[in-house]
Structure 1
Amino acid sequence: MDFTLDRHGRLSALITAAAAGDERAFTELHRLTHSYLHHVALRLLRVPSVADEVLQDAYLSIWLHAGSFRPGEGSPMTWLIAIVRHRALSVLRSAREGDLAWTGDDEFERAECAAEDAGEAETADLIQCLRLREAMGKLDPAHRNSLALAFGQEMTHMEMARHMAVPLGTVKSWVRRGLSRLRHYLDHPVDVAPLRKVTAGAAV
C-alpha cells in the first residue's frame, strides 16, 4: 500500500467531513497535522507565542473555509500549509515597523518579500483575518477559551476539562457550539467597508 496516498486520502476525507460540519473530523484533522503545521509557522515567525496565535487563527479558518478545498486538485497538506503561510505572512507584514522582537532577520526579509508579491490576495487574507477576530470576539468567553485551548495549545478535551475544572461533556459542548457560532457569524458578515479602510491605511 502507498502510505503517502493513503494519508492524502484520509486528510482529504477529514477536510471534506469538516466542511459538512463534522466537529470530530475536524478535531482528528487537527491532531494529525498540528505538529507539522506548527513547525511551518514557527520556521517563518521564529517567535513561539506568535506562531501559536497564527496557528490558532489558521485552524479556525480551515474549519470555516473547508468547503473551498477540492480533493482532486491538489494535496490536502499543501492546501493546509498555504493557509498557515498566508496567516504568517500577514503577521510579518504588520510587524514591519519593529513592534515584535524577531530573532531571524533573514527569514523575516525573505517572508516579507513573499508577502509583498501577494498583493490583493494578502489584503483579502487580512480582511478574512479581521472578520475571524471579530467573530471570535462575539463568542461567549467559555466558547472562545475552549477554541483557543483546543486549536491554539493543542489540548485534548480531557486536558481542557481538567484545566477549566468542568465536566468533559461541557467542554465538548463548548467546542461544538463555538465552532457552530463561528460559522454563523462568518456566514452573516458585517459591512466590510470599515475593514477595507483599515487595510488601506495599513498599506500606506
Structure 2
Amino acid sequence: MNTHDERPALQALNALYGRRAAVYDYELMPVAPLRREAIAALDLQPGETVLDIGAGTGLSLPGLCEAVGPNGRVIAVEPCEAMMRQARERSRADHLGAPVDFLAAAAQDAPYEAALGERRADAALFFFTHDVLQSIAALERALAVLKPGGRVVAAGLAWAPPWLPLSNLFVLGAAAHSVTRMDGLDCPWRQLEARMKEAEVERRWLASAYLLRGRR
C-alpha cells in the first residue's frame, strides 16, 4: 500500500502546471520527436482504446486519435484545470478523428469506468508524468483497467550516469520546474516496470531521458 499522502503533492502539481499552462506547448516543443516515438511504440490499431495519463494540454491527442481512428477512443486524464481547458480547446479546434473522453481528475482517482463501461483499455501512455509514475495508487488504478497484455509506454527525464554531468545539469533544470518530487529520478520507471509482464527501457538524449515499452 502506498502510504505517501498525495494530497499536498497534487495541490503543488496543480499550482505548478496552472502557472505553466500558457507557455507549456512552447516548452514541450523540443520533446516532440520523443512524443512521436512514444506514440508509435504503443502500436495502436484502428478501433482501440488508449489512456493518455497526464494528458496536459493535449499535445499527444492528435497522434493518438489518428492512430485509433473514428471507431477508437482516447481517454485523457489531467487534474490541472488550466491544462485540461487547453486540451479540450485543442480537440475542438483540431477536429480530432476519434472520440476523446476528458477525465478531470488525478490519476489515482480517475473514474476510468465512467468512460470505459464494461470494456478495458488496450494501451496506456505516460508521457513526461514523473509524479504519476511515483504513485503506486495511480499506477495500479490505470493498470487495473487495461486488458491482459495491454501495451504501456512511458517516457520522461532520468538522471544520467555521473560521467555525463551536462546531461544531469539539463535534467536538474528541467525537473526543477516540472515535477513536485525529485525522488525516483534515478529510475523513474521502477514501479511501473515491476508491474509489467515484460518491459524494456531505452535511454535517449545522452541518457537524460528514457523510453519504456511493456505489457500489463
TM-score, scaled relative to structure 2:
0.25
Larger radius of gyration: 1
As a proportion of its length, which structure holds more strand?
2
As a proportion of its length, which structure holds more helix?
1
Instruction: Considering Cα pairs closer than 8 Å and 6+ residues apart, tell me whether 1 or 2 has the greater RCO.
Output: 1
TM-score, scaled relative to structure 1:
0.26
